[in-house]
Structure 1
Amino acid sequence: MSAPEEHAFAEEEEQEDMDEAGSDEEEVDEEDMQEEGEAEKKVYVPGIEPLQPGERLEMDRSAYRMYHECQTGAPCLSFDVLKDGDGDGRQQFPLSMLLCAGTQADTALKNRLLVMRMHNLHETEKDNEEEKESSDEESDEEEEDEDKKPQLELAMMPHYGGINRVRVTQFGQHALAAVWSEKDQVEIFDLRPQLEAVHSSAAMAAFVQQQKEAAALFSFSGHMSEGFAIDWSPKVPGRLVSGDCKKNIHVWEPREGGASWKIDQRPFSSHSKSVEDLQWSPTEATVFASCSVDQSIRIWDIRAPPNSMLSADEAHSSDVNVISWNRSEPFLLSGGDDGLLKVWDLRQFKTGRPVANFKQHGGPITSVEWSPADSSVFAASGADDVISQWDLSVESSDVGARVEGVKDLPPQLLFLHQGQSEIKEIHWHPQIPGAMISTALSGFNVFRTISV
């Protein structure tokens, strides 16, 4: 893990003019040039104005409370956060977290199902040029920096086939991962061996020595096509819904003990094209939402198959890629290939009109998620290599939300995060308020901004 080299600010390179004037004039010129260089520093907003030749991006450390990077070898298309026993609402540094992810390697045999334990995550230190006055102080700081190095334990299990999406849940004493892969199967894995390994050096040594392919606790091949959409129910432990690229959705019911599942072979099939994402209602145990390449968003009740209850048939002008169901308010968030973010009030869903519509990203939306700590806050990522954070509670008249020198920014836009290439998925950490994790072709980012 290391700090990024490029981030939220653009700075034009200063051009030094050398002349043959006297020493007094040289001093004046240097002062003028310094003031001019400082004036040229400006906030860089993606999509508003492209970088010019000679301009570069620099991270403004004062905009982050925490920032770390990590690599896992092959890139991970999808990941999820595993809840741990360290408590909810924690903010005291250093922090730790558990993640489960799946790789998309260049060959099927090279893929892995991963459990990562990131710990000793310290807050971002602000730049201070007045420090390091003596060699003794530098030595002390080097020792302190060594103590603050982030740590990563990684338990990798071979998995034949690229992993499209990973979702985790706690079922009794078991931490389970549901995995959609290019094998046209949805598999369930018990993550206990990996979790033991990342918490114990002895268990890790034994785990590494085995190096056997991941053995699924249960698998389902009834989809007849690969897919990406999958979600565990937050209301009924072990209940799962999965959707494929052939437009079919299946609901899974856990059998006693959680070692197997009963899957209704009659699919929910109102969509006409690939199902891209699924979300269970956080309040109603039998209700879930889906979105599709057919441009629609649908609401279903498993007590009344096979057709949806409610539908917004032209929710976006192109593929609807991702959705997120607000945990405490009747709102659904969606993102599409059209680059739009839309907020839907489910009490007015029949009208087919969103209550909010944002166009900030310069490419298709790849991931969206409401904050688990604040029902008005959400985040999104796009194919423009940007992560945006938003707060719907900010009023249009709130001038404090405006960025100086930049016009036409939505006041609800809190923050734009950059530095990764081909961002695939983002998640808020459910136990660490404001902490966000993102995965991309270039690896993982773990960060918290000053805005959330």
Structure 2
Amino acid sequence: MVRSIKNPKKAKRKNKESKKGEGSSSSSIPSVPAKVWQPGVDKLEEGEELQCDPSAYNSLHAFHLGWPCLSFDIVRDSLGLVRTEFPHTVFCVAGTQAEKASWNSIILFKLSNISGKRRELLPTQSAGNDSDMDSDSSDSDEDDDEEGYGGSGPPVLQLRKVAHEGCVNRIRAMQQKPHICASWGDTGHVQVWDFSSHLNALAESETEVSRGDSAILNQTPLVKFSGHKDEGYAMDWSPLVPGRLLTGDCKNCIHLWEPTSDGAWNVDTNPFVGHAASVEDLQWSPTEPHVFASCSVDGSIAIWDTRLGKSPAASVKAHQADVNVISWNRLASCMLASGTDDGTFSIRDLRLLKEGDSVVAHFEYHKHPITSIEWSPHEPSTLAVSSSDNQLTLWDLSLERDEEEEAEFRAKTREKVNAPEDIPPQLLFVHQGQKDLKELHWHAQIPGMLISTAADGFNVLMPSNIETTLPSTDA
């Protein structure tokens, strides 16, 4: 169970990242060879510092909102379903972890003019090879500094703040109606908000707003539910039924919210109970409107059907440690990923759940608690993971170890990089530089883009080695 950001202070920008096989440590002595930095293994000597390899990213930007944010969500917008052209614009909603309860707010923000290197998406049916895809000619002129990445100027940050009672444990925007957001407060209440006026104002504005001086506005939520007996972190909107919501608390109770015809919600005061400890995360099934999954500090994962009563339809002891986060694959709905307090994460095939051994992949790369896990919305085998070891890792589970290919790669790179021997073949990318990583999300409308939040602010990144295919279409 890893949650709160301790001793929150004003965030300061940090932007020192490394990629698997390409990040390096360096010192003032020019003759020291570059090597791959391994968190938890390697130590920085006096005078050494980590350096970012700009060629590892198509885009990389860092920014902060004043106070750290434990949770955020990407707000679906009307700028296009599949966007590939820079500069990009993103809309998000985040909740603060301020030093005093009365200082907290929900922040809606727009980050525009996100620059980077253009990368064509791969068609599902090959249209021929293009050697220009591998060109490094654009890398040499890239300048990775505090103000942005690329040559078109820094991103523009615009924001609106709405007062929130207490810290925001988790916040989620409804997929079908993105202006409707739900927030879990550390005071034990769940609130649903209509932020349409703020999102409209951000969409129409082109002027950057001062991050620290913008006024905190007061707004009344649509609903404030105080039926939970404790605070909580678990929350998920249904991807199939607009307005259907689940919230889970630290007293092992899960409540179902059903939308009404008049725009309100009926919250079932009789909770779903099946875990022996705190419910840490919830995920609706991407294909069945009445089915959801939950995970708990008790080490279990449960599958529920709301039509079958208040007990789990199936439950499995999934891990030996607290299960902090889960993610249901929306492109391969039989797959569920889970991350734990001991740093391990697993992939389960739910079709094998009743047979007892549903684990199809298990990874022990991270040595500290997993704080966030999410399947790519564009590639069914790609997964993003963040950990308290200050790493954000990307995985392609379709890859297998090829010893001959690895030997050839090492032979080519051994003069440049001293790479560790035990990197899992499924590990695609390692992003570093953020302190106390808390949550990550893929952008559903910008293939290859991730956003992550940490104690020292946000990063927007697009790794250069993440390939994304366009869905096939009829000519």
TM-score range normalised by the length of the shorter chain = 0.7 to 0.9
Rounded Cα–Cα distance in structure 2 between residues aligned with 1:413 and 1:101: 29
Provide the secondary structure at the position in 2 that maps to 1:57.
strand
The equivalent of 2:15 in structure 1 is 4
Contact 2:188 2:228 (8 Å CA) reproduced? yes
2:261 to 249, 256, 262: 256
Rounded Cα–Cα distance in structure 1 between residues aligned with 2:140 and 2:16: 14
1:41 to 34, 37, 50: 34
The equivalent of 2:376 in structure 1 is 371
The equivalent of 1:213 in structure 2 is 218
Contact 1:339 1:382 (8 Å CA) reproduced? yes
Provide the secondary structure at the position in 2 that maps to 1:89.
coil
Could you tell me which amino acid in structure 2 is paired with residue 432 of structure 1?
I
Cα shift at 1:193: 1.8
Cα shift at 1:212: 3.3
Structure 1 segments of 4 or more deviating over 6 A?
Answer: 202-205
Rounded Cα–Cα distance in structure 2 between residues aligned with 1:209 and 1:6: 30
Q: Against the structure 1 CA distance between its residues 14 and 111, is the aligned structure 2 distance closer, same or farther, given a 3 Å change threshold? A: closer
Could you tell me which amino acid in structure 2 is paired with residue 331 of structure 1?
M
The equivalent of 2:180 in structure 1 is 176
> CA-to-partner distance for each residue in 1:11-41, whole Å, 9 max, x for gaps?
34254xxxxxxxxxxxxxxxxxx6x54xx11
The equivalent of 2:90 in structure 1 is 97
2:71 to 75, 78, 102: 78
1:379-398, aligned counterparts within 5 Å? 379-397=384-402
Percentage of matched positions with identical amino acids: 43
Provide the secondary structure at the position in 2 that maps to 1:225.
coil
Provide the secondary structure at the position in 1 that maps to 2:227.
coil
Provide the secondary structure at the position in 2 that maps to 1:91.
coil
The equivalent of 2:426 in structure 1 is 412
1:188 to 187, 192, 198: 192
Rounded Cα–Cα distance in structure 1 between residues aligned with 2:362 and 2:151: 46
Cα shift at 1:395: 1.4
Rounded Cα–Cα distance in structure 1 between residues aligned with 2:89 and 2:206: 20
Contact 1:232 1:241 (8 Å CA) reproduced? yes
* Structure 1 stretch displaced more, 355-364 or 366-375: 355-364
Q: Does residue 228 of the first structure (1) align with residue 233 of the second (2)?
A: yes
Rounded Cα–Cα distance in structure 1 between residues aligned with 2:386 and 2:405: 24
What count of residue pairs does the alignment treat as equivalent?
Answer: 414
> CA-to-partner distance for each residue in 1:356-400, whole Å, 9 max, x for gaps?
000111200000000000000001000000000000111122665
Contact 2:396 2:428 (8 Å CA) reproduced? yes
Could you tell me which amino acid in structure 2 is paired with residue 309 of structure 1?
A
Rounded Cα–Cα distance in structure 2 between residues aligned with 1:46 and 1:401: 22
The equivalent of 1:151 in structure 2 is 156
Provide the secondary structure at the position in 2 that maps to 1:335.
strand
The equivalent of 1:122 in structure 2 is 115
Contact 1:197 1:203 (8 Å CA) reproduced? no
Q: Does residue 288 of the first structure (1) align with residue 288 of the second (2)?
A: no
The equivalent of 1:431 in structure 2 is 445
Cα shift at 1:50: 3.3
Provide the secondary structure at the position in 1 that maps to 2:307.
coil
Could you tell me which amino acid in structure 1 is paired with residue 434 of structure 2?
Q
> CA-to-partner distance for each residue in 1:156-208, whole Å, 9 max, x for gaps?
11112100000101455x62111000121110000112102212349999xx9
Contact 1:401 1:413 (8 Å CA) reproduced? no
Contact 2:18 2:53 (8 Å CA) reproduced? yes
Structure 2 residue runs of 5 or longer lacking an equivalent are 1-11, 118-137, 411-418, 467-475
> CA-to-partner distance for each residue in 1:29-85, whole Å, 9 max, x for gaps?
xxxxx6x54xx1122233443334443210000000000011100110000011111
Rounded Cα–Cα distance in structure 2 between residues aligned with 1:337 and 1:359: 12
Cα shift at 1:435: 0.2
2:325 to 306, 322, 327: 322
Rounded Cα–Cα distance in structure 1 between residues aligned with 2:256 and 2:434: 35
* Structure 1 stretch displaced more, 195-204 or 291-300: 195-204
RMSD: 2.6
Rounded Cα–Cα distance in structure 2 between residues aligned with 1:192 and 1:82: 11
Could you tell me which amino acid in structure 2 is paired with residue 126 of structure 1?
D
Rounded Cα–Cα distance in structure 2 between residues aligned with 1:12 and 1:338: 31
Q: Which has the higher contact order (CA 8 A, sep 6+)?
A: 2
Q: Does residue 239 of the first structure (1) align with residue 244 of the second (2)?
A: yes
Rounded Cα–Cα distance in structure 1 between residues aligned with 2:289 and 2:345: 26
Rounded Cα–Cα distance in structure 1 between residues aligned with 2:162 and 2:243: 23
Provide the secondary structure at the position in 2 that maps to 1:86.
coil
Cα shift at 1:10: 2.5
> CA-to-partner distance for each residue in 1:313-345, whole Å, 9 max, x for gaps?
2x1111100000000211000000010010000
Rounded Cα–Cα distance in structure 2 between residues aligned with 1:430 and 1:170: 10
Contact 1:228 1:244 (8 Å CA) reproduced? yes
2:457 to 422, 443, 448: 443
Instruction: Compute the TM-score of the two structures, normalised by the length of structure 2.
Output: 0.82
Rounded Cα–Cα distance in structure 1 between residues aligned with 2:381 and 2:175: 27
Provide the secondary structure at the position in 2 that maps to 1:303.
helix
Q: Against the structure 1 CA distance between its residues 58 and 267, is the aligned structure 2 distance closer, same or farther, given a 3 Å change threshold? A: same
1:65 to 54, 58, 62: 58
Q: Against the structure 1 CA distance between its residues 192 and 399, is the aligned structure 2 distance closer, same or farther, given a 3 Å change threshold? A: farther
Cα shift at 1:102: 0.5
Contact 1:340 1:361 (8 Å CA) reproduced? yes
Q: Against the structure 1 CA distance between its residues 14 and 221, is the aligned structure 2 distance closer, same or farther, given a 3 Å change threshold? A: closer
Q: Against the structure 1 CA distance between its residues 148 and 280, is the aligned structure 2 distance closer, same or farther, given a 3 Å change threshold? A: same
Could you tell me which amino acid in structure 2 is paired with residue 324 of structure 1?
S
Contact 1:103 1:113 (8 Å CA) reproduced? yes
Contact 2:26 2:51 (8 Å CA) reproduced? no
Provide the secondary structure at the position in 2 that maps to 1:355.
strand
Contact 1:272 1:294 (8 Å CA) reproduced? yes
Q: Against the structure 1 CA distance between its residues 433 and 202, is the aligned structure 2 distance closer, same or farther, given a 3 Å change threshold? A: closer
The equivalent of 2:335 in structure 1 is 331
